[in-house]
């Protein structure tokens, strides 16, 4: 299974800030805006998710964390895919998908 880096980072606030460049509280606020969009849209079609279909391997919070860490650390897709035990194609596709969800969810944000 995948590692739950989100729980490990939440347990150490200083490390969370160092790794993500945001505080745990800021990340929670970000999750509240973006995760509902990630949950409600299908990655393959970018349409509202139906009742059927295969769920994502990672929880929306983990997917958002992966995206934030990727942006902050300038990691390669190979590193990200190994970190979450995903294929490089899945990690790349998911990063683009999460970026589009961030764009939709934060369209009215000034921060």
User: For residues 60 and 38, is the Cβ–Cβ distance under 8 A?
Assistant: yes
pLDDT at 95: 84
pLDDT at 29: 92
Residue with the bigger pLDDT between 89 and 60: it is 60
Condensed to tens digits (0 to 9), the pLDDT of residues 6-37 reads 677 777 878 888 888 888 899 999 999 999 99
pLDDT at 96: 86
For 109, phi then psi, to 5°, come to: -80, 145
> Residue 48: beta bridge partners?
41
pLDDT at 84: 66
């Amino acid at each position: 299974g995948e590692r739950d880096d989100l729980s490990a980072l939440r347990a150490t606030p200083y490390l969370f800030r160092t790794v993500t460049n945001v505080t745990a509280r800021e990340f929670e606020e970000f999750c509240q805006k973006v995760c509902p969009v990630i949950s409600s849209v299908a990655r393959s079609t970018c349409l509202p998710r139906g009742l059927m279909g295969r769920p994502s391997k990672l929880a929306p919070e983990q997917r958002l964390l992966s995206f934030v860490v990727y942006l902050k650390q300038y990691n390669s897709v190979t590193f990200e895919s190994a970190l979450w035990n995903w294929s490089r194609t899945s990690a790349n596709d998911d990063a683009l998908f999460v970026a589009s969800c961030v764009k939709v969810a934060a369209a009215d944000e000034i921060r």
